[in-house]
Amino acid sequence: MLLMTNVDNISCDNVPYIIEELMNLGAKNVHVISAITKKGRTEYIFFIDTKEEKISEIAEFMAIETGTLGIRIFNTEHYSYDHEIRQLELSFEIDGRTEWSGTMSFKIIKNKENEVISIRAEHDELKSLTKTLNESGKLISLYEVKEMVENKALERLKDQNIQFRVIDAAFERFTCSFSPSKTILSKGQ
């Protein structure tokens, strides 16, 4: 079920608390969009994905916390993919020297034929790696680390050997390598 309500009488400081509490109450996902009402006031539109048996509890919480006058309920269908969380060993080398090695968690998404179609590294772990690299004097952005790590992992898990070469030598100094992986969580929806 997808619940929707709009609220124009809370500050932005309340929104993270409300999201956290909705998740604690059993929401599967919560999205909040900032908007402008017909009278020019700012508002927040909450989209709350939850099971039918949680509607009453979540609606009451929203009324208490936000003063909302009602909740819209949408019956929705969700096309989901099987996925698993896998830890991969990797090392990060700059100019031929290992700057970091360790494990990183990846969400592996598979299609109905069980083929890997997407891979996403855990954001907090990417941030930590980027910070470590930057603290060692190697200026590299979170975006660059994410792209390199995810592309290399996807190449490895799709069992493809995709080669990418940039002519400018300044761009060739970063490499990322992987060793055998270990699945830590599998989940199909």
- Whether residues 91 and 171 share a domain: the answer is yes
Local confidence band at 166 (pLDDT 50, 70, 90 cut-offs): very low
Among the candidates 74, 95, 113, a domain finishes at 74
Average per-residue pLDDT for the chain = 83
Full domain range(s) for residue 160:
82-187
Residues contacting 78, CB < 8 A, separation 6+: 189
Cα radius of gyration (the chain): 22
User: Is the CB of residue 45 less than 8 Å from the CB of residue 31?
Assistant: no
Task: Quick: pLDDT tens for 130-141.
Answer: 998 888 887 889
On the 0-12 / 13-18 / 19+ scale of CB atoms within 10 A, 94 is: middle
| C-alpha separations of 87 from 2, 117, 172 in Å | 32, 17, 26
- Look at the chain and report how many structural domains it folds into: 2
- pTM for the model stands at 0.62
